[in-house]
Structure 1
Amino acid sequence: MAEPSNKCFIGTFIHSKKLDELEYRHDTAVFVDSHGKIVAIEPLPSSSDQRAAAITAVYDHLQWRDSQTPIVQYECREGEFYFPGFIDTHLHAPQYPNVGIFGKSTLLDWLDTYTFPLEASLSDAAKARRVYTRVVRKTLSHGTTCAAYYATIDVPSTNLLADLCLGAGQRALIGRVCMDRVGICPEYYRDESPEASLAATRESIAHISRIDPLMEIVRPVITPRFAPSCTTTLMKGLGELARSTQLPVQTHVSENKNEIALVRELFPPALTGAVDDTYTAVYDVFGLLTDKTILAHGIHLSEGEVDIIVERKAKISHCPCSNSAITSGAARVRWLLGKGVCCGLGTDMSGGYSPSVLEAARQAALVSRHVAMGGDDRAKLSVEEVLYLATRGGAEVVGLEGKVGGFEVGMDWDAQLIGLSMVPENEEEGEGVEGEDGGNVDIFGWETWPDIVAKWLYNGDDRNTKKVWVKGRLVHERK
């Protein structure tokens, strides 16, 4: 880990001011202290001498020049800007080797055919280390500064994922997956009993609490895989654990119509005491629907379910890529937002085929247009809105609102430096293309800044992510 330093970042800063508005700050300096917190933001004059003097004045005001902590300056080049780090609110770390492999399956068949065998195999420590190291590095390379990870039922490999995230500097919610229902979970891959599942979950929580006592980088998250995978006894125990620890909860809801029918069959109100037979009511009756709950998907929610989600202040992780790939459906995000539901974006690997939240954002825009084709033109999400979901929206989903997701004094410096290819004025046909590593985004110089951001959203990839910081620490640099 690099020696702590105070940092000054100079250039253009773009972040979401609100759901439908991006703020552009040009010729600006952002000052980040050795703890990774933004302590000052100052506009800069155009004159280079005056700029240097203005920066020095802030150093003096912050008493940085009088301290023993070194000062490091970063300055944007042409075609570069700073953007908040992306927040992936839903992904399955052990499934990363299967990205792009979903065949012709729908959800329940896909789990049995592809997912459970791979997850079970990660009880092999060497295999788990290989897979988890790669998924952390890969997501960081795409600008993901925080990820809500599902692990497996295996405690040592779940703990390993937490260790690797902490070592790499990626913020993460780490969840040991709970699943004990005979007949739904395969015999080779399920918890032996509700008691065993709860004991293993507590063991993993204890480990994460030991390695990061303040939970500044890694946090445990209570993770019933989804309601059908858990018995009523386990669901009740997990709800009690959530209440006693005040930890976040992550799970799935209303992803697939066959899954919803299965929930009705397994959890009739007569058994659970729920007010109705909806998927959401099952989580609520067991105490798993709280203001710290992350519900992935929410495609087929009813009006009543959304009302209770809003009342409990639970959150939705929208996963447009996997919802399309596994043919689950198109979530009505505009409707959810209008009802007051907090939403973020998830890659949902390996149902989703990409580790990129930027890809999830563009897919969210496209899926919203498919919803609009059904007759509601208001359903369309703008560039500004999907980038909000990728940053500030995601921050609220994972419980980090006001801490990350934007550039404001008092927030942590979780950021990425984006670099786009500037097409030279004297470029001739066929030259300057072979061997370029600037990605798919070509900037000619006449685009407005909103146009530049739109081109990045729809054409960008990890080649444009030049540097990534978490809490002021440089955690990825493209060579």
Structure 2
Amino acid sequence: MGVTGNKIVFIEDADNSDSVLEHHGIDKSTVRHLKNGQFFTPGFIDTHTHAPQYAMLGTALDKELCDWLSWYTFPTEAKFADPEFAAHIYNKAVGRLLNNGTTTVSYFGTTHLKACQILCDIIESKGQRAYVGKVNMDTNCPEYYRELTENSVEDTKRFIDSVLDRKNPLLTPVITPRFAGTCSRELLQKLGQLAQETQLPIQTHISECTTECAWVKDLFPETQNYADVYDKHNLLTPKTILAHGVYLTEAELNLIKKRKCALSHCANSNASIRSGILDVRELLNRGIKVGLGTDMSAGYSPSVLDAMRSSLLVSNVLTVRQPQGYQWLPYKEAFKLSTLGGATAMGLDDVIGNFQVGKDFDALLIDCDVTHSPFDTYPWDTMEDLVQKFIYQGDDRNITEVYVSGRRVK
């Protein structure tokens, strides 16, 4: 594989290396040869996570969703009104994700304009590719963390302008209503209008747990279902990422497919706070775009490797109760969801997601024989064996180099 600047310029068989190098005018001395046990993969893509919740990662999982938000999440996120606190946590969060090989991520921030701008500063300084959203919510949340509707919209516009003014192709603002239950009709309507005007991506939550679904139905009795709430406010578009989707009905799945939205599958989170189990095979069979999400901190790991493992485990468990012939999620497909699937969900599959000529070089160098590797290798291991061992047992120690758009960031 040849990389010039930030682009992949060729992929050729190594057996023809001399003629390939000559054809592309490349000096042999600049060629890098990988050792046994090493290989490159495309960078991991996290289609749904909460940057501020890194502060509570690995704790506070004793409640179900609605109580979890009230008891732990809203109080934690409210602390990000303090810029110094925000900078401290975000520096750790972005660094941890990059160290775990997450080259691209769709972040929820908080409602605080300044804190979200600080998050962008840190992402930019570390070289990650990201969507960043200033969270919107103006109802059904604690007074100390509630926005006025007009302020929410105006701060969102200011945030969008401040991100676009950076002219950084790796950084994109994303319109982020937290979820239907914490947004008034007026706020949803104005955010939908803003999305139409700006043509920016949208991210939100949908159908994560049964209590939430029932609550949203009561809040919006004039709509047919949860997905229809978003659709009536122009928030279902080909650029929309919907997190969870555990309890989507037939009508909702058809609507999401029709609107060309994507789903972020957050298997760890769904299990950790007992929300439910998503049948990702059903989504894939319907041709719905799917990526993987860590959803920290309801998901207790910030690693996309864990998102893959959780997805594989959940699929295996589901298979036990399915009729014969049901196709579980194999490791190759989970790996694809963590790379090209995520890129497709985020509308970036023409730029990243796999090693294809013309795409940006977002890549991880994996070393299966690194010192203190969490797994062992043997002379008889094939390359496929090594890839499987990395997926099922590897961690950040095996991810020795990380590249985003051709730049080494680890």
- Residue 396 of structure 1 deviates from its aligned partner by 0.6
For 2:209, give the aligned amino acid: N
* 1:234 aligns to 2:187 (yes or no): yes
* 1:57 aligns to 2:30 (yes or no): no
* 1:405 aligns to 2:359 (yes or no): no
Q: Secondary structure at the match of 1:381?
A: coil
Q: Secondary structure at the match of 2:85?
A: helix
For 2:159, give the aligned amino acid: S
CA distance in 2, matches of 1:379, 1:284: 31
Conserved? CA contact 1:102–1:325, under 8 Å: no
For 1:410, give the aligned amino acid: G
TM-score scaled by length of structure 2: 0.97
Give structure 2 stretches of 5+ with no counterpart.
Answer: none
* 1:216 aligns to 2:131 (yes or no): no
CA distance in 2, matches of 1:247, 1:72: 40
CA distance in 1, matches of 2:275, 2:78: 24
Deviation string, structure 1 residues 309-349 (Cα, Å, up to 9, x no partner): 00000000000001000000110100111111110000000
Larger mean CA deviation between 403-412 and 369-378 belongs to 369-378
CA distance in 1, matches of 2:244, 2:323: 20
For 2:2, give the aligned amino acid: F
| Matched residues, number | 408
Matches within 5 A, 1:320-359: 320-359=267-306
Residue in 1 aligned with 2:145? Answer: 189
Q: Answer 1 or 2: which has greater helix percent.
A: 2
Larger mean CA deviation between 100-109 and 195-204 belongs to 100-109
For 1:251, give the aligned amino acid: T
Matches within 5 A, 1:307-322: 307-322=254-269
Conserved? CA contact 1:128–1:157, under 8 Å: yes
For 1:381, give the aligned amino acid: L
Matches within 5 A, 1:48-447: 51=17, 53-54=18-19, 56-60=21-25, 72-181=30-139, 184-192=140-148, 194-212=149-167, 215-269=168-222, 274=223, 276=224, 278-376=225-323, 378-421=326-369, 436-438=371-373, 440-447=374-381
- Residue 454 of structure 1 deviates from its aligned partner by 1.5
CA distance in 2, matches of 1:467, 1:88: 18
CA distance in 1, matches of 2:60, 2:254: 33
Residue in 2 aligned with 1:456? Answer: 390
CA distance in 2, matches of 1:58, 1:121: 57
* 1:32 aligns to 2:14 (yes or no): no
Which structure has the greater CA radius of gyration?
A: 1
CA distance in 2, matches of 1:82, 1:437: 20
Conserved? CA contact 1:293–1:314, under 8 Å: yes
Conserved? CA contact 2:37–2:386, under 8 Å: no
CA distance in 2, matches of 1:227, 1:143: 32
CA distance in 2, matches of 1:216, 1:100: 33
Work out the percentage of aligned pairs sharing the same amino acid.
Answer: 43
Q: Secondary structure at the match of 1:148?
A: strand
Larger mean CA deviation between 444-453 and 350-359 belongs to 444-453
- Residue 372 of structure 1 deviates from its aligned partner by 1.3
Conserved? CA contact 1:332–1:379, under 8 Å: no
* 1:471 aligns to 2:373 (yes or no): no
Deviation string, structure 1 residues 133-182 (Cα, Å, up to 9, x no partner): 1111111111110000000000011011111111111000000000001x
Q: Answer 1 or 2: which has greater strand percent.
A: 1
For 2:191, give the aligned amino acid: L
Given the superposition, is the C-alpha separation of residues 318 and 376 from structure 1 closer, same or farther in structure 2, using an over 3 Å criterion? Answer: farther
CA distance in 2, matches of 1:104, 1:44: 53
Q: Secondary structure at the match of 1:83?
A: strand
For 1:230, give the aligned amino acid: C
Deviation string, structure 1 residues 424-452 (Cα, Å, up to 9, x no partner): xxxxxxxxxxxx422x2211021233222
CA distance in 1, matches of 2:150, 2:23: 57
CA distance in 2, matches of 1:280, 1:102: 29
- Residue 55 of structure 1 deviates from its aligned partner by 5.4
Please, what is the CA RMSD of the aligned residues? 1.4
CA distance in 1, matches of 2:228, 2:60: 30
CA distance in 1, matches of 2:243, 2:312: 18
For 2:247, give the aligned amino acid: H
CA distance in 1, matches of 2:213, 2:318: 21
Deviation string, structure 1 residues 352-391 (Cα, Å, up to 9, x no partner): 0111101100110000112112224525100111001000
Q: Secondary structure at the match of 1:74?
A: coil
CA distance in 2, matches of 1:123, 1:287: 30
